[in-house]
Amino acid sequence: MNPRTVVLAFRAVAVAEALSWVGLLAGMYVKYVPQTSEAGVQFFGPVHGAVFVAYVLVALVAARVLGWSRWTTLLALAASIPPLATVVLERWAGRTGRLRVPARA
């Protein structure tokens, strides 16, 4: 698998996961606070679920292809749980060289 493609996929899915979280949280707010509509939850719930699974899979592929340590892999997987943490992890991984394409690629 091409490391450059893995890096681009990881970055894209990390941002998509965070955006789907925002949509789901907004939908939950509308559903439970003013109690006006469930449409946001009905739409963003499945979207977030699918993007969450995609993020976990892409993170595991990135860990293998980019040679991440177990600690980095665990951080990437844990970042999928709190809202917007995937973007924070993606920025950190980029700054620390964990999303650098290996020289052998």
| Structural domain span for residue 7 | 3-95
CA distance 58 to 75: 14
List Cβ neighbours of 89 (8 Å cut-off, separation of 6 or more).
14, 75, 76, 79
Q: Does the predicted model carry a pTM greater than 0.75?
A: yes
Give the residue-averaged pLDDT of 62-77: 96
Given a contact cutoff of 8 angstroms between Cβ atoms, the answer to whether 18 and 56 are in contact is no
Classify residue 95 by its DSSP letter.
Answer: H
Tokens of 67: 């040679």
Residue 21 falls inside a structural domain: yes
Residue 104 falls inside a structural domain: no
Residue 60 falls inside a structural domain: yes
In the chain, how many domains are there? 1
Give the residue-averaged pLDDT of 48-71: 97
